[in-house]
Amino acid sequence: MYVIISLDEHFRDNNSMDNPSILDENWNTLRSLFPENWEERAISTGAMTRKLRSFDSAEAILRTLLLHIARGYSLRETVVRAKASGLASVSDVALLKRLRLSENWLKSLCCSLLQERGFALPKEKGQFNIRLVDGTVIKEPGKTGSQWRILYSISLPNFQCDYFDLTSTKGKGTAENFQRIPVAANDCLIADRAYSDAADIHYLHKHSA
């Protein structure tokens, strides 16, 4: 995903959304970075178990999904842009269903990219339950859009989200800390230094994490 986001910044600066030839050139550059058999994996992981309907190919599905994932467009804006660019004519509800079906496909692509770059991914859990914890703030569109805080945890090595919480950014119980996350013995939580205060460490120790 860091490759996609980096290229996305470059493409945005070049106004690629308004130039079909640049769009195709950018896509070819991005596609060259994908792991082998990325299209076949759409079938093997179940991303194409539903009929293609408004999509011509796995490529059309991925290009449309990346408008939503990498560019950050809403589902509604994504389908409008996809139709305008000739990628697909699909509703926002149908795109959401396709996104859910594509979870294992996208995960497979990300894991393959990590392995190609020398990151060894263990096949099974070890002595500890490794969990990556982080949070972020998202803002609704518009000048008066509300802000929301997302707190989540991803387990290794399967890269599955094992905890997710959405709250406002103000008020009790909305801060980013370990105490909001259910933990158990042998959990090993990895987060940035904002989580390393005495109260959070005590909470983990109390639960043998």
**Residue 91, token pair as written in the block:** 């509703």
Query: Among 49-53, 141-145, 195-199, which range has the highest average pLDDT?
Result: 195-199
Take residue 162 and report the two structure tokens written for it: 């094992």
Residue 124 placed within a domain: no
Specify if 123 maps to a domain: no
100-134: per-residue pLDDT in tens?
999 889 988 888 888 888 877 666 666 888 999 99
Domain co-membership, 175 together with 102: no
Residues 112 and 9 in one domain: yes
Q: What's the pLDDT at 13?
A: 43
Domain count, the chain: 2
pLDDT at position 2: 40
7 has pLDDT over 70: no
What CA–CA distance (Å, rounded) separates 137 from 166? 10
Q: Mark which of 83, 116, 149 sits at the end of a domain.
A: 116
Question: Assign residue 121 a region: left if phi > 0, alpha if psi is -120 to 50, beta otherwise?
Answer: beta
Q: Is the peptide bond before 141 cis (omega within 30 degrees of 0)?
A: no
Residues 53 and 106 in one domain: yes
Mean pLDDT of 47-61: 78
Same domain, 35 and 56: yes
Cα→Cα distances 63→14, 28, 67, 76, 181, Å: 18, 11, 7, 15, 34
Same domain, 100 and 8: yes
Q: Which of 161, 162, 204 is nearest to 184 (CA)?
A: 204
Domain stops at, among 89, 116, 143 = 116
Residues 6+ apart with CB under 8 A from 116: 35
Verify that 91 and 183 share a domain, yes or no.
no
In this prediction, what percent of the chain has a pLDDT beyond 90?
A: 31
Residue 45 maps to a domain: yes
CA torsion sign for 52, 54, 56, 58 is negative
What's the angle, vertex CA 88, arms to CA 85 and CA 94, rounded to 5? 135
Residues 69, 148 within the same domain: no
* Structural domain that includes position 61: 2-116
Task: Answer yes or no: are the C-beta atoms of 39 and 105 closer than 8 Å.
Answer: no
Lowest mean pLDDT among 7-11, 71-75, 136-140, 143-147: 7-11
Is position 121 within any domain? Answer: no
149 and 193 in a common domain:
yes
Residues 106 and 144 in one domain: no
Q: What pTM value is reported for the model?
A: 0.65
Question: Is the same domain home to 6 and 108?
Answer: yes
Residue carrying the six token digits 């500890």: 128
* Structural domain contains residue 122: no
d(CA 100, CA 154) in angstroms, rounded, equals 17
